[in-house]
């Protein structure tokens, strides 16, 4: 099934109900950081859903938990960027990603003394929690991190376009880091039933259509001066580099981070027009809990610095956040 145009997609899919609120938050954030000449990165993270009913009970989803995006946002903050963290609702978030599941409760001690009950952090956990808490508080005190959330693929695109249009004013100081796992297939709005599909009606036949690729208008129209990094995920190694390179040639952006589903947290390849640069963590580094995102982000920050015309990126900002 041929893909419709991106204009048609926006014409058919209305903005989400909280769109104007999110747009105002984005506007305030971009204007505030732009006024100080700060670098701003838009990090997209997590997977998009494709609703199968308007009153959505069921939807098509994908595997992404947002590990890459949440970790990367932290490293961009360390490099002095203001970070727009555009993430799938309830996916991993910067800082709290380090304490998912029961991890946080396992770090706490309860002294049950009735009305004088206290909760303390276990001594051996203080050294784990304190540095993360410090970085979290510093980011929030500086107003350097904005969260905006999406669920469906159309919510994602509305937010993406709004953020890009606002970042256009930031010129080459804007960086786009498109790590979200965006659906390539969807059910057009007029083919989606209003109410929950009934099993009594028999097995549904669901035809998925192609979602238009938004990289084309994003690079050419919405945010033409930004440093744009897209991601390419494959499960067949033979396709990985050819498809990453084909994307670069087609959309003419700056870099594709190529990764395989099975090894994505130990190995990536940064594909630019001139080179393929492989980043691989050793087994020891993986066991020591080193994030590959720290290395990816450092390399991208360096490339972004060169794009802005100044070799040492963190000093590019004219004023502290």
Contact residues: ligand PMT, CB under 6 A:
64-68, 178-182, 184, 211, 213-215, 230-233, 259, 264
Quick one: 85 exposed, middle or buried, by C-beta within 10 A (0-12, 13-18, 19+)?
buried
- Minimal distance, residue 214 CB to ligand PMT, in Å: 4
Question: Apex CA 317: angle with CA 316 and CA 318, to 5°?
Answer: 110
Nearer to ligand PMT, 47 or 80 (CB): 47
Nearer to ligand PMT, 22 or 230 (CB): 230
Nearer to ligand PMT, 215 or 316 (CB): 215
Nearer to ligand PMT, 170 or 230 (CB): 230
- Minimal distance, residue 263 CB to ligand PMT, in Å: 10
- Minimal distance, residue 184 CB to ligand PMT, in Å: 5
The residues pairing with 209 across neighbouring beta strands, listed in sequence order, are 186
**Comparing C-alpha atoms, which of 49, 21, 61, 56 is closest to residue 147?**
21
CB 163 within 8 A of CB 45: no
- Minimal distance, residue 90 CB to ligand PMT, in Å: 13
Nearer to ligand PMT, 166 or 257 (CB): 257
- Minimal distance, residue 194 CB to ligand PMT, in Å: 25
Parallel, antiparallel, or unpaired: how do β-strands 276-280 and 59-60 relate?
unpaired
Nearer to ligand PMT, 98 or 259 (CB): 259
- Minimal distance, residue 321 CB to ligand PMT, in Å: 26
Beta strands in the chain, from DSSP E residues, in sequence order: 40-45, 50-51, 59-60, 82-88, 108-111, 118-121, 145-150, 174-178, 185-186, 209-210, 227-234, 255-260, 267-271, 276-280
Considering all CA atoms of the chain, what is the largest pairwise distance in Å, rounded to the nearest integer? 67
CB 88 within 8 A of CB 181: no
């Amino acid at each position: 099934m041929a893909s419709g145009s991106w204009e048609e997609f926006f014409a058919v899919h209305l903005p989400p109900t909280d769109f104007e609120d999110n747009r105002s938050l984005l506007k305030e954030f971009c204007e505030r950081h732009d006024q100080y000449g700060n670098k701003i990165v838009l990090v997209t993270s997590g997977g998009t859903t494709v609703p199968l009913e308007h009153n959505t009970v069921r939807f098509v989803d994908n595997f992404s938990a947002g590990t890459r995006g949440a970790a990367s946002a932290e490293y961009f903050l360390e490099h002095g960027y203001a970070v727009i963290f555009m993430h799938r609702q309830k996916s991993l978030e910067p800082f709290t990603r380090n304490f998912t599941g029961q991890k946080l409760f396992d770090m706490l001690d309860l002294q049950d003394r009735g009305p004088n009950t206290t909760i303390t952090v276990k001594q051996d956990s203080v050294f784990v929690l304190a540095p993360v808490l410090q970085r979290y508080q510093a980011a929030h005190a500086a107003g350097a991190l904005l969260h905006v959330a999406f669920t469906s693929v159309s919510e994602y695109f509305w937010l993406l376009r709004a953020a890009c249009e606002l970042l256009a004013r930031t010129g080459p100081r804007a960086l786009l880091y498109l790590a979200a796992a965006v659906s390539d297939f969807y059910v057009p709005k007029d083919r989606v039933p209003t109410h929950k599909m009934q099993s009594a009606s028999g097995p549904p036949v669901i035809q998925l259509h192609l979602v238009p690729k938004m990289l084309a208008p994003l690079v050419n129209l919405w945010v033409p001066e930004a440093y744009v990094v897209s991601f390419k995920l494959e499960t067949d190694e033979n396709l990985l580099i050819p498809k990453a390179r084909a994307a670069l040639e087609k959309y003419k952006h700056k870099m594709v981070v190529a990764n395989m589903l099975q090894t994505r947290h130990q190995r990536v390849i940064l594909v630019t027009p001139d080179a393929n640069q492989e980043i691989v963590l050793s087994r020891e580094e993986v066991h020591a809990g080193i994030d590959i995102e720290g290395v990816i982000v450092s390399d991208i920050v360096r490339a972004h610095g060169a794009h802005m015309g100044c070799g040492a990126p963190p000093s590019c900002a004219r004023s502290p956040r």
